Structure 1
Amino acid sequence: MIELGLADGSLIDELMELTAQSLSHLEIKEHFNIIKEIGRGKYGKVLLVTHRCRGTPMALKVIPKASTKLQGFLREYCISLHLSGHPCIVGLFGIAFQSNDHYGFAQELVIGRDLFAVIQPKVGIPECAVKRCVLQIASALEFIHEHGLVHRDIKPENILLLDSHCCQVKLADFGLAQKRGTLIRFISGTLPYMAPELCAVALEEGQTEVTAAAVSVEPSLDTWAFGVVIFCILTGYFPWERCMASDDFYQEFADWCQAPTLEDVPPLWRRFTPDAMEMFSRLLELDANKRSLVGEVRSYVIKDWLMPTLLDTNGLQPENGRVTAICSSSKSSSVLKEKE
């Protein structure tokens, strides 16, 4: 497994070097008919286009040069291309280019919404649909990890739906993906999906440096995020805002993990069955070295995750604060800045 990862890491480096040498220069409107914008974020935007010569519909990811270094673009494109053969990962056309102001590449057009868009606030989505998503994303993540890579941005917004019933989904956006073992010295900003070890190197407002040791990029980062995503789509809530002692909801869960009992399950987690809590305790293990592999969820899919009688919304509210419900305004954004 490790040897395979190292080999794939070297291949990514070679792909990046070759792509840099052959990166064509073209202006988007000269080669593509722009139909409409179908996505936008801090990274740039995604356009629905057709190729002027072939007429092929595709999604064009366009990234401003002003906010992205060439190496960052090459890494995202080459990792995406290397992994795009998996049925649960968005495919690429092998078209990469630069214009005067942007870098861009063409990827498979997925007509449909992302997973975030179908989560009903304070409710989630049906357990059977969650399990269909979980099996497919677990397969995609295993494939990524077997190639010595880590996605690092697992969240509902990056899980694309090919139908309205979550029968087929695809993992997208490799803008933060890295080779396993890459060191991260600090990040700016946190998301609910970030593991505790990653939050430990987050710069607080006004800080210029962190005292925590650099974090090695490992599959366990994806495992943690995967666990949080499962919670979100089952409940329609974020379990916490950040994995830090200052967050009461996270600290309550962390305290429970030190001595887990069915009697003292934190209020937000009481809708889950003992089997589901066992799964979450494995995926959300505080010690990254003891955290389970993503594939372990398969042994839990055949079991019930939600109690037969769900607690109402008020029953989910801890007394010491307010939990954030999933809604369109709470859509998370990627890490603002990081230092390797």
Structure 2
Amino acid sequence: MELRALETLEDGDTEEDTAMALQRLVELTASRVTSVRSLRVQYRLIRKLGSGSYGRVLLAQPRQGEMPGKQSDDGSMDVAAVEDGGDEGLGGLTVEELQQGQETALALEDMMALSAQTLVRTEVDELYEEVRPLGQGRFGRVLLVTHRQKGTPLALKQLPKTSTSLRSFLYEFCVGLSLGTHSAIVAAYGIGIESAGSYSFLTEPVLHGDLITFIQPKVGLPQPATQRCAAQLASALEHIHSHGLVYRDLKPENVLVCDPDCHRVKLTDFGHTRPRGTLLRLTGPFPYTAPELCAPPPFPEGLPIQPALDAWALGVLIFCLLTGHFPWDQPLVEADPFFEDFIIWQASGQPQDRPQPWYGLSPVADALLWGLLDPQPRKRSPVSSIKGYLGQPWRQRGGEAEELAKELKEDG
């Protein structure tokens, strides 16, 4: 269970004014309009959702029998539909929740189509000078660069074409653009680059590395820093959920730190983010993965994802920040004794009988994490629930309550 160890952008030739951008979007959309006759052949009407002076909104399902919403490797974003016309859709999601996911998927498709037309086609080193690497992952790398003419520092994420499709690149690029207005999310700039061997996009530079490098094994972070990080990440996740999306990849490696004392952090990397209701197949047991994703899905097509997945991951991350280790290796009762002990303890309703990994936590932290780590998604507390626990001690170590109170007073 160990935890592993600005300035304004250039006025490039591809910048379009608002009128031109809207005109291009209209042209792209017009080419995708389907006739009513074709729609009736392809879809079965379920029920009417609403109507007005300019038309009506219908809920429909593909006639071929394949439910929309399967997630493919290239970033497909179709969202599950309601089958029975009731108030609940697949996986307990309401009609309104599914509609929001569908609207988000369609908006992203249009944004991707427009972005594909405005890619800058050039070699990166013609426009930007590399300063140093900022990060490296399985699918690409992040570099600190400066604009050759203006000297503006930027972060450039570079994804090789050998492992990244154009669609996957455009998807991550557009999700980042749509979410980057939040203070705890890395701001993405509207410049995508296609080179001979890679796709790249630009973001604000965050220079102090990721959160994993700040977590001391078997110790964690100081309590004030833990609460600051948790509050900012919960706010970022709320923002993502308000856009009809589920982040799906919360872990310390995807949290960038803005200063040495962890006063400000930012969420990054949106390659796994999907619209609410997207059907997700079995993903395998990992420490941050919710238990509903570690068992066979209730539907052959997969499990419709919802914000409760992020609430679970936030609970695991908070535990790691408080202790410096994972609560378990995999959230499966039959496979992990630490998870089994937690489930028994949680069901008992007796906080004082906590298992060994939870010894150092306070009753306040117990209550917070019991809510975020409820094994039943519909009973799980939302990420916003942490607001009611801030400013109270989350650990029982001597002197930490006084340290927390002092820091909160200094922060005003």
TM range (shorter): 0.7 to 0.9
Cα drift, residue 54 of structure 1: 2.4
Contact 1:113 1:161 in 2 (8 A): yes
| Cα distance in 2 for residues equivalent to 1:262 and 1:253 | 11
| Over 3 Å off, 4+ runs | 1-9, 210-213
State whether structure 2 residue 232 is matched by structure 1 residue 136: yes
Name which of structure 1's ranges 123-132 and 63-72 shifts more when overlaid on structure 2. Answer: 63-72
- Report Cα offsets for 1:36-93 as digits up to 9, x if no partner: 2110011210011112232211111011111122222111110100000111100012
- Report Cα offsets for 1:280-313 as digits up to 9, x if no partner: 0100000011111100100011321111449xxx
Structure 2 letter corresponding to 1:72: S
1:239 to 327, 332, 338: 327
State whether structure 2 residue 203 is matched by structure 1 residue 107: yes
Structure 1 gaps of 5+ residues are 203-209, 311-340
Q: Tell me which residue corresponds to 2:121.
A: 25
Structure 2 gaps of 5+ residues are 1-95, 400-412
1:292 to 378, 381, 385: 381
- Report Cα offsets for 1:245-269 as digits up to 9, x if no partner: 2111112112222223123211111
- Report Cα offsets for 1:112-140 as digits up to 9, x if no partner: 12111011111111111111111111111
Q: Tell me which residue corresponds to 1:329.
A: none
Q: Tell me which residue corresponds to 1:207.
A: none
TM-score scaled by length of structure 1? 0.84
Q: Tell me which residue corresponds to 1:35.
A: 131
Cα drift, residue 143 of structure 1: 0.5
Residue aligned with 1:173, SS: coil
In the alignment of these two chains, the number of paired residues is 302
Contact 2:101 2:277 in 1 (8 A): no
- Report Cα offsets for 1:3-54 as digits up to 9, x if no partner: 6555433321210111122223211122211112110011210011112232
Q: How does 1:1-340 map to 2 (within 5 A)?
A: 2=97, 6-187=102-283, 190-200=285-295, 214-244=302-332, 245-309=334-398
Identity %: 43
Structure 1 letter corresponding to 2:275: K
Residue aligned with 1:170, SS: strand
Cα drift, residue 215 of structure 1: 1.8
| Cα distance in 2 for residues equivalent to 1:22 and 1:223 | 36
Q: What is the Cα-based RMSD across aligned positions, in Å?
A: 2.0
| Cα distance in 2 for residues equivalent to 1:201 and 1:164 | 42
Structure 2 letter corresponding to 1:237: H
* Bigger radius of gyration: 2
| Cα distance in 2 for residues equivalent to 1:43 and 1:288 | 30
Cα drift, residue 155 of structure 1: 0.7
Structure 2 letter corresponding to 1:236: G
Cα 1:190–1:21 change in 2 (3 A) is farther
Structure with larger RCO (C-alpha < 8 A, sep 6+): 1
| Cα distance in 1 for residues equivalent to 2:238 and 2:112 | 23
| Cα distance in 1 for residues equivalent to 2:161 and 2:247 | 22
Name which of structure 1's ranges 270-279 and 220-229 shifts more when overlaid on structure 2. Answer: 270-279
Structure 2 letter corresponding to 1:200: A
Contact 2:119 2:191 in 1 (8 A): no
Name which of structure 1's ranges 107-116 and 14-23 shifts more when overlaid on structure 2. Answer: 14-23
Contact 1:92 1:106 in 2 (8 A): yes
TM-score scaled by length of structure 2? 0.70
